[in-house]
Amino acid sequence: MIDVFSNALSNALSNDSRDDCVARLAGVSLRYGRQVALDNVTLTLPARRMIGLIGPDGVGKSSLLALIAGARRLQEGTVEVLGGDMAKTAHRRRICPRIAYMPQGLGKNLYATLSVRENLDFFGRLFGQSRQERDRRIHELTQSTGLAPFVERPAGKLSGGMKQKLGLCCALIHDPDLLILDEPTTGVDPLSRRQFWELIERIRGARPGMTVVVATAYMDEAERFDWLVAMDDGQCLDQGEPSALLARTHSDSLESAFIALLPAAKRRGHESVKIPPRLGTSDTAIEAHGLTKRFGDFTAVDQVDFRIERGEIFGFLGSNGCGKSTTMKMLTGLLPFDAGEARLFGQPVDPGDIATRRRVGYMSQAFSLYGELSVRQNLELHARLFEIPAARRHPRCHALLDQFDLHHVADRLPGDLPLGIRQRLSLAVAVLHEPEILILDEPTSGVDPIARDYFWQLLIELSRSQSVTIFISTHFMNEALRCDRISLMHSGRVLDSDTPAALQAKRGCDSLEEAFIAYLRDALPPDSASSGERTAAVSASLLSSIDAQPATNGADLPRPVRFSLRRLFGYAGRESKELQRDPVRGAMALVGTLLLMFIMGYGITMDVENLRYAVLDRDQTTTSEAYTLNLTGSRYFDEQPALSDYDDLERRLQRGDISLAVEIPPNFGRDLKRGDTPEVAFWIDGAMPSRAQTIQGYVQGIHDTYLEQRDRMTSTSPAVFDVALRYRYNPDVQSLPAMVPAIIPLLLMMIPAMLTALGVVREKELGSITNFHVTPVSRLEFLIGKQLPYIALGLGNFLLLVALSVFVFEVPLKGSLAALTLAALLYILCATGLGFLISALFRSQIAAIFGTAIVTLIPAIQFSGMNYPVSAMEGGAALFGQLYPTAHFLTISRGIFSKALGIVDLWPDYVALLVAIPLLALFSFPGLKKQEA
Amino acid sequence: MHTLANIFHLGIKELRALKRDTALLVLIAYAFSLSVYSSANSMPEIPHRATMAVVDEDQSPLSRQILDAFQPPYFLPPVPADRAEMDSGMDRGRYTFTLDIPPTFQRDLLRGSATAIQLNVDATQVSQAFSGAGYIQQILTTEVSRFLDTTGGREPEAARAVIRARYNPNLTQSWFGAINAIINQITMLSIILTGAALIREREHGTIEHLLVMPVTPFQIMAAKVWSMGLVVLIAAVLSLEFIVGGWMAIPIRGSLSLFVAGAALHLFATTSMGIFFGTVARSMPQLGLLIILTLIPLQVLSGGMTPRESMPEAIQQIMLLAPTTHFVEFGQLLLFRGAGLSVVWPQLLALGTIGSVFFTFALFRLRQSMV
């Protein structure tokens, strides 16, 4: 079926003029496990247009964009982008430099600890630009976007709007023909949003050949686009020019057009939100005066005042990071405030006061119920926590399931449910204990229009019939319009508070958005408010610098080079900068190894000493005393008070007071003289077998010595023979010289492997791995680039450890430092390679920690010859020990440290390490995908 | 009363969350079954398959008799060598021990003139070197006396040393290894489980959600302590009964209920420690490094790997503050030596005290980090 389809399509393509479309999708389906993200989508996107993908969260917009960008692997169907099949690696590689992709989430593909310049520089390197070219482009891009004054600021410290601009600059640094933006303006204040779209317009003016594909949840934005694709439930509902869509659905706004496009089943029961007038009571429910919160030198909330009446719906309108959530958290008592006053029901807010919590319901910004509990279990848990009596608990939960229409999902996990239903559950939990105040922090972000209206109907019901005071924050203008009164917030300050109509009237604007923008322009310092104008002035330079001829035909573009040192060092440089800026990680790695070296060097002693023993002397003669003197004189033993009888012996052995009990039989002296061969009994505590064996050896030795001495004194029998025992390499049998060369390999394995593994898995978890997927960087460049900083760190670590051994522990390095360093370098390459292999297997950081611990700790300690030589092991352990790099480096380390050997003597181990490095890389390749699965 | 109910229900929530995390459950199962088994058996008997080269310059019946005494599994067959090979082989780590039996060894011995066998030991092979050397000396002495006894060159021994090991008569390494592995797993898992559970709640924002409800940090923490502690405790007891007692057939002395009590106290301390780490670490990677940096000293220095009395005095004193030290001692007293409450109460008291201090401290930190 699909084959036929794609054949037909390619036939059609060959006849078609290719210039007219930038991407064609045919029969595309995508599944994540059992969940269907895209369901047989067939779509053609026209070239040189501004194309909008509209629809709520979770309908497959992002998946579709990721497929077009080549960031996600195609499962079913065909995707052709810029004249070639995206399933073909060669095509993807060829057109990759012509596509720019900015994933969803504010600054998700940016590196928070890197400055604006460093971020841009990194992307420039990935696209193989020379130093001069990068500097020129960074200068122009930052000038034209108004980021120029902030080039040295870390990306993580930029405001939402500036992050978006930086993301756009990163995407534009290589002059793409296809710009893919996934919800670029979600959560950004209206002024920044407007500036963002003006910027895009100017860039399109300069590069008319460029196609822009944007996903958005804001319908008002989408009205300005050239072409729209409406999506729902993984399917394409309709597409066309905005005016055509409106005409087809007989709607006056895109929002209502979208609702009209939805299948009938979804629309059923939907009615537009009507707000009945509030019956006036004027009791104050929430009150704040001069509320201020500082985080360090950053003032998050600055002198905020407001008063909310009982039963009122009060809105906070503002961008992400403007202080809405912080204010709400202070009111719930989650955050203490630095100055000002807040009152709930006339009582000052006290974080310690549990009683007020019972009167407040809070719904936080992110979904924060337990994903591991079913809907019903979540409700019941909260009912219990709010002490709803057992008799009322069940009916209450039942009533809520009814009221919020959750019955059909009662036994499912929230994680599997659409966002709209999850938000309903959150609200159900928030009102479970019938609070008088509801504090809702952006409850509807990402929820589709129908679910949002339904949600609002619930709110209105609560406010109007149950007189619940509702304090809600939002960045949707149409939601703000539904509130009784709103506060406009920006940078921690309330710009103004009033009814939406009054606010518009005050500024003389037709829409709330215009009014808000007018307020923002007043509030901003003059230079940044005019950044739009200034931008326009410099955009002339942008016009001249951007290559104005996009090649629409991909075939004539040169293939990007397969291996580029510039891209490799791009990754290496970025990784090491990140490492530098996370001092905790670096410090733990360096100080941690030194600390462990101390602990293990001093703590692990293989010589068993100070063994406590006691004697049960049942002879009590000078002969028996002479016998025990041998024990007393030994440095291994530490005599304890004599034993009185067998019970005492038993008890003290059991308590662990003594590890050896000596029983000298009655008549020992007499029997010895007579030659009756008396038997001295030794009782050893066998709980710790290795210690017991050592004691056994000591005891036998001491007994033999006694006999020998006695022989020499009493009889004529000659001293027979002697074992000349020589401990080689460590004649004094000290623990430190034996342990130090063994600990170095252990520590050098664990830390670099752990850091490398986390370095890669972090990118997966935080989302910046997309940059690897959508830029021309190859797997080998990524692999080496990511490892280089950790290799350097490992080498530094190694030198520290050697210095510590030689200067602090005074364990001499007998062989050549150069030879040892070479081996260490090879070994660290193995360690980081192993870390990389682990990172290819795991997706979450905690799993990577477990994985690294299991893969490095146990083999390195138990199977690599640290305590027991590899030759002493059998079967799997022995095989593992021989394959594992630690065993070889251990031999080298001991050889060079203690035996003064060189590469000539130890070459087989060097070779083994050399072979392991490419093998590890080879094994990690299959797990390291250039596309997301 | 309400506090208790909250603690109970929040704990049930933790258990339900754990139930859904298949990967973690597999890990716990592995840690208490296969991992215990393999750790127990990875400690070779000492010496075990020791490598040895022999320069036999005597080539007499006695020297051959001596060589025959080195038998597997203790020794790999001795490799005949010359002096040069003997040294280079040891340099490269091929032999841990080399013996040099001088020419005319047997004749000298029978004549009664002084003679010596040279035994070289590679001292870098830590544990095998020291105990192995003693073992070889014993074999040499025994073989020589047996030879002299049969050839009538010597009087019988004047006195005999009868050495018996209590609690583990054959000094089987795996007995100790298995119990020790369980003790280590208890510590590791309880710290990781609670620490990660706390970080996860923070990352997912659910901890904030809890704090706006009538729930106190004390209740949140107590719930994590009892639920995670219970999981580890049950896994440990099952492992002790079925893996150690059943599968590996290692005799366990002492009362199981007393062990459960001790383990519960230990878990009280270690889970509190996990919570504490959860409040210190800002992210999972930091938690991971923190856990590794503490687990290693805890395992290595608490007396489970090498005897405590041989460690430097300062370390012995410091390690008294660690719960593992007391728990290892408790485990040995109870499980090997079959001691009762009258003997182990100081360890229980120490565990309880350390646990309370940790709990209080972690609670203090949790309160601080929450606001």
- In chain B, which residues have their Cβ closer than 8 Å to the Cβ of A857? 292
Residue scoring higher pLDDT (A820 or B202): A820
Order across the sheet with A99-102: list the strands.
A99-102, A178-182, A211-216, A50-54, A227-232, A235-240
Domain map (residue ranges) of chain B: 2-43+172-370, 52-151
* Category of A620 on φ-ψ map: left (φ > 0), alpha (ψ -120 to 50) or beta: left
CA distances from B157 to A58, A663, A677, A703, B150 (A): 89, 18, 7, 11, 14
∠ at Cα A172 (A166, A177), nearest 5°?
Answer: 150
Q: What is the distance between the alpha carbons of residues B154 and B157, in angstroms, rounded to a whole number?
A: 9
Q: What is the distance between the alpha carbons of residues A95 and A93, in angstroms, rounded to a whole number?
A: 6
For residues A216-237, give the mean pLDDT. Answer: 85
* Category of A702 on φ-ψ map: left (φ > 0), alpha (ψ -120 to 50) or beta: alpha
Phi, psi (degrees; rounded to nearest 5) at A434: 50, 60
For an interface test with B, give the residue of A293, A350, A425, A654 to mutate (most B CBs within 10 A).
Answer: A654
Closest Cα to residue A811, out of A745, A739, A737, A738?
Answer: A737
Look up the ipTM and state it.
0.79
**Does A588 contact B293 at a Cβ distance shorter than 8 Å?**
yes
pLDDT at A12 over 60: no
**Residue A301, strand partner residues:** A293
Q: What is the distance between the alpha carbons of residues A170 and A107, in angstroms, rounded to a whole number?
A: 10
Q: Are A851 and B28 in contact (CB under 8 A)?
A: no
Of all residues in chain A, the one with the smallest CA distance to B161 is A680
Amino acid A791: pLDDT: 93
Type and span of the H or E element at A486: strand A485-490
Tokens of A325: 């959530």
pLDDT at A685 over 90: no
Tokens of B44: 């070779």
- Within 8 A by CB and 6+ apart from B11, the residues are B222, B223, B224, B226, B227, B230
pLDDT at A802 over 90: yes
Q: What is the pLDDT of residues A847-875, one digit of tens each?
A: 777 778 777 877 777 667 666 666 666 66
Closest Cα to residue B271, out of B354, B187, B349, B368?
Answer: B187
For residues A394-409, give the mean pLDDT. Answer: 85
**Does B292 contact A335 at a Cβ distance shorter than 8 Å?**
no
Tokens of A365: 């910004």
Q: What is the distance between the alpha carbons of residues A438 and A332, in angstroms, rounded to a whole number?
A: 10
pLDDT one digit per residue (tens) for chain B, 371 residues:
678 888 888 888 888 888 877 767 887 888 888 878 877 776 665 667 788 899 988 888 888 888 888 887 778 888 888 888 888 888 777 888 898 988 888 888 887 777 888 888 887 776 677 777 878 887 888 888 788 777 655 556 677 778 888 888 777 777 888 888 888 889 988 988 888 888 878 776 677 777 777 778 888 889 989 999 999 999 999 998 888 888 888 888 888 889 999 999 999 999 999 999 988 887 777 787 788 788 878 887 888 777 787 777 888 888 889 999 999 989 888 888 888 888 889 999 999 999 999 999 999 888 777 65
Q: What is the pLDDT of residues A485-521, one digit of tens each?
A: 988 888 788 888 888 888 888 888 888 888 888 888 8
Type and span of the H or E element at B208: helix B206-211
Domains contained in chain A, CATH given: 2-260 (3.40.50.300), 284-526 (3.40.50.300), 565-600+734-924 (no CATH), 611-714 (3.40.1710.10)
Q: What is the pLDDT of residues A414-453, one digit of tens each?
A: 877 766 778 888 888 888 888 888 888 888 766 767 777 8
**Residue A490, strand partner residues:** A493
**Does A654 contact B338 at a Cβ distance shorter than 8 Å?**
yes
Q: What is the distance between the alpha carbons of residues A275 and A257, in angstroms, rounded to a whole number?
A: 22
- In chain A, which residues have their Cβ closer than 8 Å to the Cβ of B127? 606, 690, 867-868
Q: Are A824 and A748 in contact (CB under 8 A)?
A: yes
Q: What is the distance between the alpha carbons of residues A690 and A780, in angstroms, rounded to a whole number?
A: 48
**Residue A211 pLDDT grade (very low, low, confident, very high; cuts 50, 70, 90):** very high
- Closest CB from B166, B285, B296 relative to A684: B166
Q: How many CB atoms lie within 10 A of CB B313?
A: 9
165-194 in B: which are within 8 Å (CB) of A?
165-169, 171-173, 175-176, 192
Q: Does B336 touch chain A (CB under 8 A)?
A: yes
Distance from CA of A297 to the nearest CA of B (A): 18
Amino acid B227: pLDDT: 92
Amino acid A388: pLDDT: 83
Tokens of A180: 């893919």
Domain B52-151 CATH (choose: 3.40.640.10, 3.90.1150.10, 3.40.1710.10, 3.30.460.10): 3.40.1710.10
Q: Please confirm whether the linkage preceding A583 is cis (ω < 30° from 0).
A: no
Type and span of the H or E element at A487: strand A485-490
- In chain B, which residues have their Cβ closer than 8 Å to the Cβ of A655? 333, 337, 339, 343
Half-sphere exposure of residue A732, counting CA atoms within 13 Å on the CB side? 5
Distance from CA of A390 to the nearest CA of B (A): 12
Strands B115-122 and A721-728, sheet pairing: parallel
Distance from CA of A337 to the nearest CA of B (A): 10
Q: Are A260 and A249 in contact (CB under 8 A)?
A: yes
Strands B160-166 and A76-81, sheet pairing: unpaired
Q: How many CB atoms lie within 10 A of CB A681?
A: 16
Q: Are B110 and B153 in contact (CB under 8 A)?
A: yes
Amino acid B173: pLDDT: 76
Mean pLDDT, chain A, as a whole number? Answer: 81
Q: Does B237 touch chain A (CB under 8 A)?
A: no
**Does A894 contact B93 at a Cβ distance shorter than 8 Å?**
yes
Q: Does B158 touch chain A (CB under 8 A)?
A: yes
**Pick from A380-384, A740-744, B34-38, B102-106: least confident:** B34-38
- In chain B, which residues have their Cβ closer than 8 Å to the Cβ of A719? 114
∠ at Cα A703 (A697, A704), nearest 5°?
Answer: 90
Q: Are A175 and A544 in contact (CB under 8 A)?
A: no
For an interface test with A, give the residue of B126, B277, B319, B369 to mutate (most A CBs within 10 A).
Answer: B126
For residues A273-280, give the mean pLDDT. Answer: 71
Amino acid A319: pLDDT: 72
Phi, psi (degrees; rounded to nearest 5) at A725: -95, 125
**Does B47 contact A711 at a Cβ distance shorter than 8 Å?**
no
Amino acid at A656: G
Q: What is the distance between the alpha carbons of residues A272 and A270, in angstroms, rounded to a whole number?
A: 7
**Residue A822 pLDDT grade (very low, low, confident, very high; cuts 50, 70, 90):** very high
241-280 in B: which are within 8 Å (CB) of A?
none
Tokens of A66: 């990721």
Q: Does B17 touch chain A (CB under 8 A)?
A: yes
